[in-house]
Structure 1
Amino acid sequence: MKKTLVSLLLLTPLLANGANEDFWTQDVWSSPDRGFLFYQEKTQDNPKELEEFKTVEELRAEAQRRLNIAVMDPTEENLKGYLAINTLMLEKSTVFAQRWKETLWANPGFDHTVIHPNANFAQVALKDEKKLAKEASLKSLASQAGLVVLVQAECSFCSMMAPVMTNLSAQTGISVLPVSIKGDVSNDWPNAKPDNGIVKRLMTLSSSVPTVTPAVFLVDRTGQNAQLIASGALSLEDLKDRLVQASGLSQPMNSTIKTLPRL
Protein backbone atom coordinates (compact mmCIF):
# COMPACT_ATOMS: atom_id res chain seq x y z
CA MET A 1 0.00 0.00 0.00
CA LYS A 2 2.82 2.31 0.95
CA LYS A 3 4.61 1.51 -2.29
CA THR A 4 1.47 2.26 -4.33
CA LEU A 5 1.00 5.62 -2.58
CA VAL A 6 4.57 6.65 -3.36
CA SER A 7 4.09 5.75 -7.01
CA LEU A 8 0.96 7.88 -7.24
CA LEU A 9 2.75 10.83 -5.64
CA LEU A 10 5.55 10.55 -8.19
CA LEU A 11 3.11 10.41 -11.10
CA THR A 12 1.04 13.39 -9.92
CA PRO A 13 3.43 16.11 -11.31
CA LEU A 14 3.59 14.31 -14.63
CA LEU A 15 -0.20 14.10 -14.79
CA ALA A 16 -0.46 17.76 -13.84
CA ASN A 17 1.96 18.80 -16.60
CA GLY A 18 0.14 16.66 -19.08
CA ALA A 19 -3.14 18.18 -17.99
CA ASN A 20 -1.83 21.64 -18.79
CA GLU A 21 -1.40 20.58 -22.39
CA ASP A 22 -4.60 18.53 -22.53
CA PHE A 23 -7.33 19.91 -24.82
CA TRP A 24 -10.12 19.01 -22.43
CA THR A 25 -8.61 20.60 -19.33
CA GLN A 26 -6.93 23.61 -20.96
CA ASP A 27 -8.24 27.10 -20.16
CA VAL A 28 -10.35 28.15 -23.14
CA TRP A 29 -8.94 31.70 -22.96
CA SER A 30 -5.29 30.71 -22.68
CA SER A 31 -4.58 30.18 -26.38
CA PRO A 32 -5.93 32.10 -29.38
CA ASP A 33 -5.18 29.05 -31.56
CA ARG A 34 -7.36 26.72 -29.54
CA GLY A 35 -9.74 24.70 -31.65
CA PHE A 36 -13.49 25.18 -31.74
CA LEU A 37 -15.56 23.04 -29.36
CA PHE A 38 -14.70 19.36 -29.06
CA TYR A 39 -13.80 18.94 -32.73
CA GLN A 40 -10.70 21.11 -32.15
CA GLU A 41 -11.36 22.91 -35.45
CA LYS A 42 -9.97 26.45 -35.77
CA THR A 43 -12.47 29.15 -36.49
CA GLN A 44 -12.19 30.73 -39.92
CA ASP A 45 -12.01 34.53 -40.31
CA ASN A 46 -14.86 35.73 -42.45
CA PRO A 47 -13.52 38.53 -44.71
CA LYS A 48 -15.63 41.63 -45.02
CA GLU A 49 -17.69 42.23 -48.08
CA LEU A 50 -16.40 45.13 -50.19
CA GLU A 51 -19.48 47.20 -49.38
CA GLU A 52 -18.67 47.01 -45.65
CA PHE A 53 -15.47 49.08 -45.89
CA LYS A 54 -16.24 52.64 -44.79
CA THR A 55 -12.83 54.37 -44.80
CA VAL A 56 -9.98 54.76 -47.27
CA GLU A 57 -7.54 53.33 -44.73
CA GLU A 58 -9.57 50.13 -44.37
CA LEU A 59 -9.89 49.77 -48.13
CA ARG A 60 -6.16 50.26 -48.68
CA ALA A 61 -5.27 47.80 -45.95
CA GLU A 62 -7.56 45.14 -47.41
CA ALA A 63 -6.22 45.78 -50.92
CA GLN A 64 -2.65 45.35 -49.65
CA ARG A 65 -3.62 42.16 -47.80
CA ARG A 66 -5.21 40.67 -50.92
CA LEU A 67 -2.27 41.73 -53.05
CA ASN A 68 0.17 40.04 -50.69
CA ILE A 69 -1.85 36.83 -50.80
CA ALA A 70 -2.16 36.93 -54.61
CA VAL A 71 1.57 37.50 -55.07
CA MET A 72 2.61 34.72 -52.73
CA ASP A 73 -0.08 32.28 -53.92
CA PRO A 74 -1.31 33.39 -57.37
CA THR A 75 -4.30 31.10 -57.65
CA GLU A 76 -7.28 32.17 -59.71
CA GLU A 77 -9.33 32.70 -56.56
CA ASN A 78 -6.69 34.90 -54.92
CA LEU A 79 -6.17 36.93 -58.08
CA LYS A 80 -9.91 37.45 -58.51
CA GLY A 81 -10.11 38.63 -54.91
CA TYR A 82 -7.48 41.29 -55.52
CA LEU A 83 -8.93 42.32 -58.90
CA ALA A 84 -12.32 42.84 -57.28
CA ILE A 85 -11.04 45.32 -54.71
CA ASN A 86 -8.74 46.99 -57.24
CA THR A 87 -11.70 47.55 -59.57
CA LEU A 88 -13.68 49.05 -56.72
CA MET A 89 -10.85 51.47 -55.90
CA LEU A 90 -10.56 52.52 -59.55
CA GLU A 91 -14.29 53.18 -59.71
CA LYS A 92 -14.19 55.30 -56.57
CA SER A 93 -11.18 57.21 -57.95
CA THR A 94 -13.04 57.94 -61.18
CA VAL A 95 -16.10 59.20 -59.33
CA PHE A 96 -13.93 61.35 -57.06
CA ALA A 97 -12.08 62.91 -60.01
CA GLN A 98 -15.35 63.76 -61.76
CA ARG A 99 -16.87 65.30 -58.63
CA TRP A 100 -13.61 67.25 -58.10
CA LYS A 101 -13.85 68.84 -61.54
CA GLU A 102 -17.54 69.66 -61.15
CA THR A 103 -16.89 71.30 -57.78
CA LEU A 104 -14.07 73.41 -59.27
CA TRP A 105 -16.32 74.54 -62.11
CA ALA A 106 -18.93 75.68 -59.60
CA ASN A 107 -16.32 77.30 -57.32
CA PRO A 108 -13.79 79.08 -59.59
CA GLY A 109 -12.11 80.70 -56.61
CA PHE A 110 -10.38 77.35 -56.01
CA ASP A 111 -9.50 76.75 -59.67
CA HIS A 112 -5.89 77.63 -60.51
CA THR A 113 -6.57 77.41 -64.25
CA VAL A 114 -8.97 80.35 -64.10
CA ILE A 115 -6.06 82.77 -63.71
CA HIS A 116 -3.49 80.50 -65.35
CA PRO A 117 -5.38 78.92 -68.25
CA ASN A 118 -4.14 75.81 -70.01
CA ALA A 119 -5.40 76.90 -73.41
CA ASN A 120 -2.46 77.60 -75.73
CA PHE A 121 -4.00 80.71 -77.30
CA ALA A 122 -4.62 82.21 -73.85
CA GLN A 123 -1.08 81.46 -72.71
CA VAL A 124 0.36 83.13 -75.80
CA ALA A 125 -1.84 86.21 -75.34
CA LEU A 126 -0.99 86.54 -71.66
CA LYS A 127 2.71 86.12 -72.41
CA ASP A 128 2.53 88.96 -74.93
CA GLU A 129 0.68 91.14 -72.42
CA LYS A 130 3.30 90.39 -69.79
CA LYS A 131 6.08 91.37 -72.19
CA LEU A 132 4.38 94.69 -73.02
CA ALA A 133 3.83 95.40 -69.33
CA LYS A 134 7.50 94.68 -68.61
CA GLU A 135 8.67 97.04 -71.37
CA ALA A 136 6.39 99.76 -70.04
CA SER A 137 7.78 99.29 -66.52
CA LEU A 138 11.36 99.52 -67.80
CA LYS A 139 10.66 102.74 -69.70
CA SER A 140 9.15 104.18 -66.53
CA LEU A 141 12.23 103.06 -64.60
CA ALA A 142 14.49 104.90 -67.04
CA SER A 143 13.16 108.21 -65.73
CA GLN A 144 13.72 107.24 -62.12
CA ALA A 145 17.05 105.40 -62.00
CA GLY A 146 20.14 104.29 -63.89
CA LEU A 147 22.73 101.55 -63.81
CA VAL A 148 26.31 101.64 -62.62
CA VAL A 149 28.37 98.71 -63.87
CA LEU A 150 31.68 97.82 -62.24
CA VAL A 151 34.10 96.35 -64.80
CA GLN A 152 37.79 95.56 -65.13
CA ALA A 153 40.27 94.57 -67.82
CA GLU A 154 40.85 90.95 -68.80
CA CYS A 155 37.41 90.01 -67.46
CA SER A 156 35.64 87.54 -69.77
CA PHE A 157 32.21 88.17 -68.23
CA CYS A 158 32.73 91.93 -68.66
CA SER A 159 33.35 91.41 -72.37
CA MET A 160 30.25 89.21 -72.67
CA MET A 161 27.99 91.70 -70.90
CA ALA A 162 29.09 94.79 -72.86
CA PRO A 163 26.69 94.20 -75.81
CA VAL A 164 23.92 93.13 -73.40
CA MET A 165 24.11 96.44 -71.55
CA THR A 166 24.23 98.34 -74.84
CA ASN A 167 21.04 96.61 -76.03
CA LEU A 168 19.34 97.20 -72.70
CA SER A 169 20.03 100.93 -72.86
CA ALA A 170 18.89 101.12 -76.49
CA GLN A 171 15.62 99.26 -75.85
CA THR A 172 14.59 100.83 -72.56
CA GLY A 173 16.35 104.19 -72.39
CA ILE A 174 17.99 103.30 -69.06
CA SER A 175 21.36 105.04 -68.74
CA VAL A 176 24.41 102.88 -68.08
CA LEU A 177 27.57 104.19 -66.42
CA PRO A 178 30.55 101.77 -66.50
CA VAL A 179 33.20 102.21 -63.80
CA SER A 180 36.63 100.59 -64.01
CA ILE A 181 37.51 99.43 -60.52
CA LYS A 182 41.28 99.38 -61.19
CA GLY A 183 41.55 102.53 -63.26
CA ASP A 184 42.31 100.63 -66.45
CA VAL A 185 40.12 101.00 -69.52
CA SER A 186 38.77 97.90 -71.19
CA ASN A 187 38.40 97.86 -74.97
CA ASP A 188 34.86 96.56 -74.49
CA TRP A 189 34.03 99.50 -72.23
CA PRO A 190 35.76 102.50 -73.82
CA ASN A 191 33.63 104.97 -71.86
CA ALA A 192 34.39 103.45 -68.46
CA LYS A 193 35.21 105.98 -65.77
CA PRO A 194 37.92 105.47 -63.14
CA ASP A 195 36.81 104.76 -59.60
CA ASN A 196 36.62 108.05 -57.69
CA GLY A 197 35.17 106.52 -54.54
CA ILE A 198 31.87 105.48 -56.10
CA VAL A 199 32.59 101.77 -55.60
CA LYS A 200 32.85 102.16 -51.84
CA ARG A 201 29.75 104.36 -51.78
CA LEU A 202 27.75 101.82 -53.78
CA MET A 203 28.69 99.05 -51.38
CA THR A 204 27.72 101.25 -48.43
CA LEU A 205 24.35 102.26 -49.91
CA SER A 206 23.45 98.73 -51.01
CA SER A 207 24.98 96.85 -48.07
CA SER A 208 26.36 94.45 -50.68
CA VAL A 209 29.91 93.46 -51.56
CA PRO A 210 30.24 92.20 -55.15
CA THR A 211 32.67 89.34 -55.69
CA VAL A 212 32.48 88.94 -59.48
CA THR A 213 32.57 91.51 -62.27
CA PRO A 214 30.68 92.92 -63.94
CA ALA A 215 28.60 94.02 -60.96
CA VAL A 216 25.42 95.88 -61.88
CA PHE A 217 23.94 98.38 -59.41
CA LEU A 218 20.55 100.01 -59.77
CA VAL A 219 20.90 103.59 -58.52
CA ASP A 220 18.11 106.14 -58.21
CA ARG A 221 18.43 109.64 -59.67
CA THR A 222 19.09 111.19 -56.25
CA GLY A 223 22.11 108.96 -55.71
CA GLN A 224 20.90 108.10 -52.24
CA ASN A 225 19.77 104.53 -52.91
CA ALA A 226 21.58 101.69 -54.62
CA GLN A 227 20.88 97.98 -55.04
CA LEU A 228 23.12 95.23 -56.41
CA ILE A 229 20.95 93.33 -58.89
CA ALA A 230 23.41 91.24 -60.92
CA SER A 231 26.93 89.83 -60.90
CA GLY A 232 28.65 87.98 -63.70
CA ALA A 233 26.97 87.11 -66.99
CA LEU A 234 23.23 86.84 -67.57
CA SER A 235 20.85 87.24 -70.48
CA LEU A 236 19.12 90.44 -71.50
CA GLU A 237 15.69 89.09 -70.52
CA ASP A 238 16.93 87.94 -67.12
CA LEU A 239 18.41 91.36 -66.53
CA LYS A 240 15.12 93.02 -67.51
CA ASP A 241 13.19 90.77 -65.13
CA ARG A 242 15.52 91.63 -62.27
CA LEU A 243 15.23 95.34 -62.97
CA VAL A 244 11.43 95.23 -62.95
CA GLN A 245 11.37 93.14 -59.78
CA ALA A 246 13.93 95.26 -57.95
CA SER A 247 12.27 98.52 -58.93
CA GLY A 248 8.90 97.47 -57.56
CA LEU A 249 7.23 98.36 -60.84
CA SER A 250 6.14 94.81 -61.66
CA GLN A 251 2.43 94.35 -62.21
CA PRO A 252 0.36 91.55 -60.64
CA MET A 253 0.28 88.31 -62.60
CA ASN A 254 -2.40 88.43 -65.31
CA SER A 255 -3.52 91.85 -64.13
CA THR A 256 -5.69 92.34 -67.24
CA ILE A 257 -8.07 89.56 -66.17
CA LYS A 258 -11.21 91.14 -64.73
CA THR A 259 -13.22 89.67 -61.89
CA LEU A 260 -16.98 89.73 -61.62
CA PRO A 261 -18.23 92.39 -59.18
CA ARG A 262 -19.84 91.05 -56.02
CA LEU A 263 -23.59 90.93 -56.58
Structure 2
Amino acid sequence: MSELHRHLMLGTVLAAALLPVPVLAAGSEDFGYCRDDITTGWNFYCDPEKEEPAPDQPAEAPAAPAAPAAPEKPKSYTEQIEEFRKELDEIKYRAVLEPTPENLQDYMEAQQRMSGMASAFTDQWQRVLFKSPALDINTRFPMSQMGGAVYQDQIRVARETSLKEAADNLGFMVVVEDSAICGLCTPQLEVIKRMQANFGIEPIVVTVDGSFHPLFPEAVVDTGQLKKLGLLEHPRPFIALVEPQAGIVEPLGGGLLTEDVILERVHVVTKIPAGERY
Protein backbone atom coordinates (compact mmCIF):
# COMPACT_ATOMS: atom_id res chain seq x y z
CA MET A 1 0.00 0.00 0.00
CA SER A 2 1.37 3.35 -1.02
CA GLU A 3 2.06 6.06 1.40
CA LEU A 4 -0.70 8.16 -0.09
CA HIS A 5 -3.29 5.44 0.27
CA ARG A 6 -2.31 4.87 3.96
CA HIS A 7 -2.76 8.55 4.72
CA LEU A 8 -6.20 8.57 3.12
CA MET A 9 -7.41 5.65 5.23
CA LEU A 10 -6.07 7.19 8.42
CA GLY A 11 -7.80 10.45 7.58
CA THR A 12 -11.08 8.67 6.98
CA VAL A 13 -10.86 6.89 10.34
CA LEU A 14 -10.05 10.12 12.15
CA ALA A 15 -12.92 11.89 10.48
CA ALA A 16 -15.31 9.16 11.54
CA ALA A 17 -14.00 9.33 15.06
CA LEU A 18 -14.55 13.04 15.22
CA LEU A 19 -18.21 12.87 14.12
CA PRO A 20 -20.61 13.76 17.04
CA VAL A 21 -22.17 10.72 18.79
CA PRO A 22 -25.93 11.12 19.55
CA VAL A 23 -26.59 11.16 23.35
CA LEU A 24 -29.06 8.49 24.49
CA ALA A 25 -31.97 9.91 26.45
CA ALA A 26 -33.18 8.33 29.60
CA GLY A 27 -35.88 6.67 27.55
CA SER A 28 -33.47 5.03 25.18
CA GLU A 29 -35.04 1.70 26.11
CA ASP A 30 -37.80 2.61 23.67
CA PHE A 31 -35.33 2.27 20.80
CA GLY A 32 -34.50 -1.27 21.68
CA TYR A 33 -31.40 -0.58 23.71
CA CYS A 34 -30.99 -2.34 26.96
CA ARG A 35 -33.79 -4.78 25.99
CA ASP A 36 -32.06 -6.72 23.24
CA ASP A 37 -30.96 -10.03 24.72
CA ILE A 38 -28.01 -10.02 22.32
CA THR A 39 -26.74 -6.52 22.99
CA THR A 40 -27.66 -6.27 26.64
CA GLY A 41 -24.18 -7.10 27.71
CA TRP A 42 -22.72 -4.30 25.60
CA ASN A 43 -25.13 -1.60 26.72
CA PHE A 44 -23.43 -1.10 30.03
CA TYR A 45 -24.38 2.52 29.91
CA CYS A 46 -28.08 1.67 30.38
CA ASP A 47 -29.56 2.51 33.79
CA PRO A 48 -30.50 -0.62 35.78
CA GLU A 49 -34.17 -1.04 36.65
CA LYS A 50 -34.95 0.71 39.85
CA GLU A 51 -36.50 -1.47 42.52
CA GLU A 52 -39.70 -0.17 44.00
CA PRO A 53 -39.12 0.75 47.62
CA ALA A 54 -40.84 -1.63 49.98
CA PRO A 55 -43.75 -0.09 51.85
CA ASP A 56 -42.91 0.98 55.32
CA GLN A 57 -43.58 -1.81 57.78
CA PRO A 58 -45.00 -0.76 61.11
CA ALA A 59 -42.45 -1.14 63.78
CA GLU A 60 -43.22 -4.00 66.12
CA ALA A 61 -44.17 -2.78 69.54
CA PRO A 62 -41.79 -3.97 72.18
CA ALA A 63 -43.18 -6.86 74.14
CA ALA A 64 -44.70 -5.74 77.41
CA PRO A 65 -42.83 -7.02 80.41
CA ALA A 66 -44.51 -9.99 82.01
CA ALA A 67 -46.64 -9.00 84.99
CA PRO A 68 -45.35 -10.37 88.24
CA ALA A 69 -47.30 -13.39 89.44
CA ALA A 70 -49.91 -12.46 92.04
CA PRO A 71 -49.17 -13.93 95.44
CA GLU A 72 -51.28 -16.97 96.19
CA LYS A 73 -54.27 -16.09 98.34
CA PRO A 74 -54.16 -17.93 101.65
CA LYS A 75 -56.95 -20.44 102.14
CA SER A 76 -59.78 -19.49 104.45
CA TYR A 77 -60.46 -21.51 107.57
CA THR A 78 -63.63 -22.83 105.98
CA GLU A 79 -61.62 -24.10 103.00
CA GLN A 80 -59.05 -25.65 105.30
CA ILE A 81 -61.62 -27.52 107.39
CA GLU A 82 -63.43 -28.67 104.23
CA GLU A 83 -60.18 -30.08 102.87
CA PHE A 84 -59.52 -31.84 106.18
CA ARG A 85 -63.03 -33.30 106.21
CA LYS A 86 -62.70 -34.55 102.62
CA GLU A 87 -59.32 -36.09 103.40
CA LEU A 88 -60.74 -37.83 106.47
CA ASP A 89 -63.73 -39.13 104.47
CA GLU A 90 -61.42 -40.46 101.78
CA ILE A 91 -59.31 -42.30 104.34
CA LYS A 92 -62.42 -43.71 106.04
CA TYR A 93 -64.09 -44.89 102.83
CA ARG A 94 -60.84 -46.44 101.65
CA ALA A 95 -60.62 -48.36 104.92
CA VAL A 96 -64.24 -49.51 104.56
CA LEU A 97 -63.86 -50.67 100.95
CA GLU A 98 -60.34 -52.00 101.35
CA PRO A 99 -59.98 -53.00 105.03
CA THR A 100 -56.30 -53.79 104.97
CA PRO A 101 -54.29 -53.35 108.17
CA GLU A 102 -52.52 -50.34 106.62
CA ASN A 103 -55.78 -48.62 105.63
CA LEU A 104 -57.33 -49.26 109.04
CA GLN A 105 -54.29 -47.86 110.78
CA ASP A 106 -54.34 -44.74 108.59
CA TYR A 107 -57.98 -44.16 109.48
CA MET A 108 -57.42 -44.73 113.20
CA GLU A 109 -54.53 -42.26 113.18
CA ALA A 110 -56.66 -39.70 111.33
CA GLN A 111 -59.44 -40.19 113.89
CA GLN A 112 -56.96 -39.67 116.67
CA ARG A 113 -55.80 -36.38 115.12
CA MET A 114 -59.40 -35.20 114.86
CA SER A 115 -60.10 -36.18 118.47
CA GLY A 116 -57.06 -34.21 119.55
CA MET A 117 -58.36 -31.12 117.74
CA ALA A 118 -61.79 -31.53 119.36
CA SER A 119 -60.22 -31.91 122.80
CA ALA A 120 -58.17 -28.75 122.36
CA PHE A 121 -61.30 -26.87 121.24
CA THR A 122 -63.30 -28.09 124.26
CA ASP A 123 -60.53 -27.22 126.68
CA GLN A 124 -60.26 -23.65 125.38
CA TRP A 125 -64.07 -23.32 125.37
CA GLN A 126 -64.23 -24.14 129.07
CA ARG A 127 -61.38 -21.78 129.93
CA VAL A 128 -63.13 -18.92 128.13
CA LEU A 129 -66.31 -19.65 130.13
CA PHE A 130 -64.31 -19.47 133.36
CA LYS A 131 -63.20 -15.94 132.45
CA SER A 132 -66.53 -14.83 130.91
CA PRO A 133 -69.42 -15.65 133.29
CA ALA A 134 -71.86 -13.71 131.10
CA LEU A 135 -71.41 -16.42 128.45
CA ASP A 136 -71.96 -19.28 130.89
CA ILE A 137 -75.48 -20.76 130.78
CA ASN A 138 -74.85 -22.10 134.27
CA THR A 139 -75.49 -18.60 135.64
CA ARG A 140 -79.09 -18.77 134.40
CA PHE A 141 -79.81 -22.50 134.36
CA PRO A 142 -77.67 -24.31 136.96
CA MET A 143 -76.17 -27.50 135.59
CA SER A 144 -75.29 -29.25 138.85
CA GLN A 145 -77.78 -31.49 140.62
CA MET A 146 -77.96 -29.17 143.63
CA GLY A 147 -78.22 -26.06 141.49
CA GLY A 148 -80.86 -27.72 139.32
CA ALA A 149 -82.99 -28.56 142.36
CA VAL A 150 -82.79 -24.98 143.65
CA TYR A 151 -83.64 -23.61 140.22
CA GLN A 152 -86.64 -25.93 139.84
CA ASP A 153 -87.99 -24.88 143.25
CA GLN A 154 -87.63 -21.22 142.37
CA ILE A 155 -89.23 -21.54 138.96
CA ARG A 156 -92.13 -23.55 140.34
CA VAL A 157 -92.89 -20.86 142.93
CA ALA A 158 -92.78 -18.24 140.18
CA ARG A 159 -95.12 -20.27 137.97
CA GLU A 160 -97.61 -20.92 140.73
CA THR A 161 -97.67 -17.23 141.58
CA SER A 162 -98.28 -16.41 137.92
CA LEU A 163 -101.17 -18.89 137.80
CA LYS A 164 -102.86 -17.39 140.87
CA GLU A 165 -102.46 -13.86 139.57
CA ALA A 166 -103.83 -14.87 136.19
CA ALA A 167 -106.80 -16.66 137.76
CA ASP A 168 -107.56 -13.54 139.85
CA ASN A 169 -107.36 -11.09 136.96
CA LEU A 170 -108.44 -13.27 134.03
CA GLY A 171 -110.89 -16.08 133.56
CA PHE A 172 -109.25 -19.50 133.50
CA MET A 173 -111.42 -21.06 130.79
CA VAL A 174 -111.55 -24.75 129.95
CA VAL A 175 -113.56 -25.68 126.85
CA VAL A 176 -114.86 -29.26 126.59
CA GLU A 177 -117.58 -31.30 124.92
CA ASP A 178 -119.28 -34.67 125.28
CA SER A 179 -116.79 -37.33 126.39
CA ALA A 180 -118.23 -39.68 123.77
CA ILE A 181 -116.82 -37.30 121.15
CA CYS A 182 -113.84 -35.92 123.08
CA GLY A 183 -111.81 -38.74 124.64
CA LEU A 184 -109.36 -36.30 126.29
CA CYS A 185 -111.92 -33.96 127.83
CA THR A 186 -112.56 -35.97 131.03
CA PRO A 187 -108.81 -36.52 131.78
CA GLN A 188 -108.24 -32.79 131.23
CA LEU A 189 -110.98 -31.91 133.70
CA GLU A 190 -109.37 -34.24 136.24
CA VAL A 191 -106.10 -32.24 135.92
CA ILE A 192 -108.03 -28.97 136.36
CA LYS A 193 -109.83 -30.33 139.44
CA ARG A 194 -106.52 -31.14 141.13
CA MET A 195 -105.17 -27.68 140.30
CA GLN A 196 -108.31 -26.14 141.75
CA ALA A 197 -107.64 -27.99 145.00
CA ASN A 198 -103.90 -27.18 145.04
CA PHE A 199 -103.93 -23.51 144.00
CA GLY A 200 -107.41 -22.35 144.83
CA ILE A 201 -108.27 -21.26 141.30
CA GLU A 202 -111.87 -21.15 140.10
CA PRO A 203 -111.87 -22.37 136.48
CA ILE A 204 -114.66 -21.50 134.05
CA VAL A 205 -115.68 -24.78 132.38
CA VAL A 206 -117.61 -24.30 129.15
CA THR A 207 -119.33 -27.12 127.26
CA VAL A 208 -119.79 -26.60 123.56
CA ASP A 209 -122.72 -29.01 123.22
CA GLY A 210 -124.29 -28.70 126.69
CA SER A 211 -122.98 -32.10 127.82
CA PHE A 212 -122.81 -32.93 131.56
CA HIS A 213 -119.49 -33.52 133.34
CA PRO A 214 -119.69 -34.86 136.91
CA LEU A 215 -116.46 -33.15 138.05
CA PHE A 216 -117.93 -29.76 137.13
CA PRO A 217 -121.71 -30.02 137.23
CA GLU A 218 -121.96 -26.21 137.15
CA ALA A 219 -120.29 -26.04 133.71
CA VAL A 220 -121.56 -23.22 131.46
CA VAL A 221 -123.16 -24.01 128.12
CA ASP A 222 -121.79 -21.95 125.23
CA THR A 223 -124.38 -19.59 123.75
CA GLY A 224 -122.15 -17.76 121.27
CA GLN A 225 -119.44 -16.47 123.58
CA LEU A 226 -116.77 -18.76 122.10
CA LYS A 227 -117.46 -17.47 118.61
CA LYS A 228 -117.11 -13.86 119.79
CA LEU A 229 -113.78 -14.71 121.42
CA GLY A 230 -112.55 -16.59 118.33
CA LEU A 231 -112.30 -19.91 120.17
CA LEU A 232 -115.17 -21.86 118.67
CA GLU A 233 -113.08 -23.66 116.04
CA HIS A 234 -110.33 -24.72 118.42
CA PRO A 235 -110.11 -28.51 119.03
CA ARG A 236 -111.33 -29.68 122.43
CA PRO A 237 -110.26 -29.78 125.16
CA PHE A 238 -108.90 -26.26 125.02
CA ILE A 239 -107.60 -23.87 127.70
CA ALA A 240 -107.33 -20.09 127.50
CA LEU A 241 -107.01 -17.05 129.74
CA VAL A 242 -109.77 -14.59 128.85
CA GLU A 243 -111.25 -11.30 129.97
CA PRO A 244 -114.45 -10.85 127.98
CA GLN A 245 -115.02 -7.19 128.83
CA ALA A 246 -111.59 -6.09 127.63
CA GLY A 247 -111.48 -8.69 124.86
CA ILE A 248 -108.30 -10.25 126.23
CA VAL A 249 -107.67 -13.80 124.96
CA GLU A 250 -104.45 -15.68 125.79
CA PRO A 251 -104.70 -19.25 124.42
CA LEU A 252 -102.66 -21.82 126.33
CA GLY A 253 -103.20 -24.70 123.89
CA GLY A 254 -105.38 -27.67 123.09
CA GLY A 255 -105.20 -31.38 123.79
CA LEU A 256 -104.38 -32.90 127.14
CA LEU A 257 -102.19 -30.44 129.09
CA THR A 258 -100.55 -31.60 132.31
CA GLU A 259 -100.25 -29.43 135.42
CA ASP A 260 -96.58 -28.61 134.78
CA VAL A 261 -97.31 -27.63 131.19
CA ILE A 262 -100.21 -25.39 132.23
CA LEU A 263 -98.09 -23.70 134.92
CA GLU A 264 -95.25 -23.08 132.46
CA ARG A 265 -97.51 -21.69 129.73
CA VAL A 266 -99.37 -19.36 132.07
CA HIS A 267 -96.04 -18.02 133.34
CA VAL A 268 -94.71 -17.54 129.79
CA VAL A 269 -97.73 -15.66 128.40
CA THR A 270 -98.22 -13.44 131.48
CA LYS A 271 -94.66 -12.73 132.70
CA ILE A 272 -92.10 -13.19 129.93
CA PRO A 273 -91.99 -10.72 127.01
CA ALA A 274 -91.78 -12.28 123.56
CA GLY A 275 -88.19 -13.03 122.55
CA GLU A 276 -86.78 -13.13 126.11
CA ARG A 277 -87.68 -16.65 127.15
CA TYR A 278 -84.32 -18.22 126.31
Report the TM-score when normalising by structure 1. 0.58
> Which of 201, 220, 233 is the aligned partner of 2:228?
201
CA, structure 1 residues 223+166, in 2 after alignment: closer, same or farther (shift >3 Å)?
farther
Secondary structure in 2 matching 1:97: helix
- 2:241–2:250 Cα contact (<8 Å) kept: yes
RMSD value, Cα: 3.5
2:266 is matched with which residue?
Answer: 243
Counterpart CA distance in 2 for 1:154 and 1:92 is 59
> Which of 127, 135, 144 is the aligned partner of 2:152?
127
1:110 is matched with which residue?
Answer: 135
CA, structure 1 residues 209+110, in 2 after alignment: closer, same or farther (shift >3 Å)?
same
- Equivalent position amino acid for 2:158 in 1: A
Secondary structure in 1 matching 2:206: strand
CA, structure 1 residues 61+180, in 2 after alignment: closer, same or farther (shift >3 Å)?
closer
Q: Does 1:140 align with 2:165?
A: yes
2:236 is matched with which residue?
Answer: 213
Deviation string, structure 1 residues 203-255 (Cα, Å, up to 9, x no partner): 2xxxx443433332311274522233233322122222222223x2249779x
> Which of 182, 185, 194 is the aligned partner of 1:167?
194
- Equivalent position amino acid for 1:166 in 2: K
Secondary structure in 2 matching 1:245: helix
- Equivalent position amino acid for 2:170 in 1: A
1:185 is matched with which residue?
Answer: 212
Counterpart CA distance in 1 for 2:107 and 2:211 is 78
Counterpart CA distance in 2 for 1:57 and 1:121 is 42
Counterpart CA distance in 2 for 1:116 and 1:136 is 20
Counterpart CA distance in 2 for 1:220 and 1:59 is 61
- 1:146–1:174 Cα contact (<8 Å) kept: no
1:261 is matched with which residue?
Answer: none
| Unaligned residue ranges in structure 2 (runs of 5+) | 1-79
Q: Does 1:225 align with 2:252?
A: no
CA, structure 1 residues 86+110, in 2 after alignment: closer, same or farther (shift >3 Å)?
same
CA, structure 1 residues 123+57, in 2 after alignment: closer, same or farther (shift >3 Å)?
same
Identity of aligned residues (%): 23
Counterpart CA distance in 2 for 1:217 and 1:69 is 59
- 2:141–2:151 Cα contact (<8 Å) kept: no
Counterpart CA distance in 2 for 1:102 and 1:185 is 62
- Equivalent position amino acid for 2:250 in 1: Q
Which stretch of the first structure deviates more once superposed, 145-154 or 123-132? 145-154
Bigger proportion of residues as helix: 1
Secondary structure in 2 matching 1:210: coil
CA, structure 1 residues 124+85, in 2 after alignment: closer, same or farther (shift >3 Å)?
same
- Equivalent position amino acid for 1:249 in 2: K
Secondary structure in 2 matching 1:143: helix
| Structure with the greater alpha carbon radius of gyration | 2
Where does 1:83-102 land on structure 2 (aligned, <5 Å)? 87-102=112-127
- 1:134–1:250 Cα contact (<8 Å) kept: no
- Equivalent position amino acid for 1:181 in 2: V
Report the TM-score when normalising by structure 2. 0.56
| Unaligned residue ranges in structure 1 (runs of 5+) | 1-54, 255-263
Counterpart CA distance in 1 for 2:165 and 2:86 is 62
- 2:184–2:256 Cα contact (<8 Å) kept: yes
